[in-house]
């Protein structure tokens, strides 16, 4: 009989067999009971909470360190084809050509690199190279800006190799400043070295060719003079240092002083 096993418990008069009299004992047993767990509200392991908290903290600091300020150009090709950093000294202001090329590198990555490749070498038989290309390195921007504005189609020779493909127009997707920047960039990337192209030059060529809707053919471009001609800024050639010096020396000293003080530090 199971009741017999409880015989050891204190029983007294008025108590049923097996009934305990010790209230503290009795309550202790009740207090030890935990509430029935409810599904979905089970208590969490404290270490798990600490671990996940730590993980969230680590993720936060990781993002803070490596997000690059969430700038759109953070992972741009500029880092693969870095434009030389501004040379120290010389007043510290970034050389305007470098600044333009820096902006142009971003345009290049988005609009030109899919075909002409990050190293500017293009792809054999498909996309001609820009690195070392005579079209890119031409003395003036007349032809290259036309190519970017309207595109190029049909047979063309670049660095001795023949191509016969199509390049689309960028008239509508790039403004004058962006074209000036990207052309300046490709004229000075991958070992290329040629003069910068200004927004005004691009604007003038865009205006001059406004009525042309289709892409250029290489033969058509060869008739366009490489430099000079038409462009509004073509006459506004930069002064040589000697000419500048001469012009400055002619100024009254007071004016020269105001001028120098007005220059960016
Ligand atoms: C869809 C691919 C494609 C894109 C994008 C593209 N090009 Fe081209 N590009 C070509 C092809 C193809 C040719 C040669 C066309 C031909 O065979 O007539 C060419 C030719 C050229 C040339 C003259 C030849 C040479 O290699 O020097 C220049 C300069 C040029 N592209 C610059 C650019 C610039 C700058 C951009 C970006 C704004 C750009 N291209 C975007 C495909 C492309």
- pLDDT band for position 236 (cuts 50, 70, 90): very low
Q: Which domain holds residue 104?
A: 77-236
8 Å CB contact between 232 and 154: no
Q: Which pair of tokens denotes residue 58?
A: 């680590």
| pLDDT (0 to 100) of residue 79 | 52
Does residue 33 form part of some domain? Answer: no
Q: Cα–Cα distance between 78 and 132 in angstroms, integer? A: 19
Does residue 34 form part of some domain? Answer: no
Question: Sign of the CA dihedral 41, 45, 50, 54?
Answer: negative
Q: Which carries the bigger pLDDT value, residue 8 or residue 123?
A: 123
Pocket lining: 215 vs ligand 1, CB cutoff 6 Å: no
Does residue 173 form part of some domain? Answer: yes
Pocket lining: 164 vs ligand 1, CB cutoff 6 Å: yes
- pLDDT band for position 78 (cuts 50, 70, 90): low
Q: Cα–Cα distance between 115 and 137 in angstroms, integer? A: 19
Q: Is 254 exposed, middle or buried (0-12, 13-18, 19+ CB in 10 A)?
A: exposed
Does residue 35 form part of some domain? Answer: no
- Residue in this structure with the two tokens 């000079």, named with its chain if needed: 228
Pocket lining: 101 vs ligand 1, CB cutoff 6 Å: no
Beta-bridge partner residues of 161:
158
Pocket lining: 120 vs ligand 1, CB cutoff 6 Å: no
Q: Name which residue sits closest to atom 42 of ligand 1, judged by CA.
A: 167
Q: How many domains does the chain have?
A: 1
| pLDDT (0 to 100) of residue 168 | 95
The pTM of the full predicted model, rounded to 2 decimals, is 0.61
- pLDDT band for position 20 (cuts 50, 70, 90): low
With the most atoms of ligand 1 within 8 angstroms of its CB, the residue from 100, 167, 224 to mutate is 167
Helix axes 199-208, 142-150, angle to 10 degrees: 70
Integer CA distances (angstroms), 101 to 58, 120, 139, 189, in order: 37, 14, 17, 8
Q: Name which residue sits closest to atom 9 of ligand 1, judged by CA.
A: 167
| pLDDT (0 to 100) of residue 93 | 63
Measure 97 CA to ligand 1 centroid, in angstroms: 22
pLDDT at position 25 over 90 = no
Rg (CA), the chain: 39
Domain of residue 194, CATH code:
1.10.760.10
């Amino acid at each position: 009989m199971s009741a017999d096993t409880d015989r050891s418990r204190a029983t007294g008069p008025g108590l049923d067999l097996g009934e305990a009299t010790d209230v503290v004992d009795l309550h202790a047993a009740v207090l030890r009971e935990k509430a029935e767990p409810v599904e979905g509200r089970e208590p969490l392991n404290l270490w798990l909470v600490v671990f996940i908290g730590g993980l969230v903290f680590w993720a936060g600091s990781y993002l803070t360190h490596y997000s690059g300020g969430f700038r759109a150009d953070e992972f741009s090709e500029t880092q693969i084809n870095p434009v030389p950093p501004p040379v120290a000294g010389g007043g510290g202001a970034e050389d305007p050509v470098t600044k333009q090329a820096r902006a142009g590198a971003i345009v290049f990555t988005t609009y030109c690199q899919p075909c002409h490749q990050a190293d500017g070498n293009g792809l054999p038989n498909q996309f001609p190279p820009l690195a070392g290309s005579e079209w890119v390195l031409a003395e003036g921007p007349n032809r290259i800006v036309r190519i970017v504005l309207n595109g190029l189609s049909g047979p063309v020779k670049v660095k001795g190799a023949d191509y016969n493909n199509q390049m689309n127009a960028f008239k509508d997707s790039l403004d004058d400043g962006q074209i000036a920047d990207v052309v300046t960039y490709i004229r000075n990337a991958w070992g290329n070295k040629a003069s910068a192209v200004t927004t005004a030059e691009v604007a003038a060529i865009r205006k001059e060719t406004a009525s042309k809707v289709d892409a250029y053919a290489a033969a058509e471009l060869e008739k366009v003079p490489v430099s000079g001609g038409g462009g509004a800024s073509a006459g506004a050639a930069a002064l040589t240092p000697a000419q500048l010096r001469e012009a400055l020396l002619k100024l009254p000293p007071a004016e020269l002083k105001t001028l120098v003080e007005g220059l960016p530090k």
